[in-house]
Amino acid sequence: MTEPMPETMEDEHGRIYCKDHQKETCNICRMSFEMPNRLREEELGLRPKRSDVEKVADDIALMIKSLRNMTAAGPRPDIQVGAGAMGRGLLKDAIGKLKRLKNGGSGGIEEALNNAMEKEFGKERLTLIDMQSIGEETSTWDV
């Protein structure tokens, strides 16, 4: 049986929080509103807008972390098979987009990836990726 989604509340800027605990990331409700709240802050000018490279790098880091966390959570074949395949497909697409941005002359890609991985993994960023490893791993993918 699926648990109902916890109730949410919004602040004066439209950022979302869990209603019961008034947290952006709530371990009790198992909800995180970080990404929509950051996007809302960008829309309102409360935070500088990210470049296309930064957006894709953030997506890649988040997908890697999500796939890793799904695996670490233990066996749930009913969820993991479909979600894992979808996540790997989305990751492949994001890496392809990043490669196209690099080929189009966009700079700052390695720095954006490093920043995104640092943000998602902190000191635990042993999984840090760079453009060379992305190129080697995905050279046979159709993107």
- Select from 91, 82, 32 the least CA-distant residue to 64: 91
Q: Which residue is listed with tokens 């950022």?
A: 15
**6-50 pLDDT tens trace:** 789 999 999 999 999 999 988 887 788 888 898 899 999 999 998
pTM, full prediction? 0.61
Helix (H) or strand (E) segment spanning residue 137: helix 131-138
Q: Which stretch of 66-70, 72-76, 104-108, 119-123 has the lowest confidence by average pLDDT?
A: 72-76
Q: What residues does 10 pair with on adjacent strands? A: 16
pLDDT for 72: 66
The single residue listed with the structure tokens 């019961």 is: 20
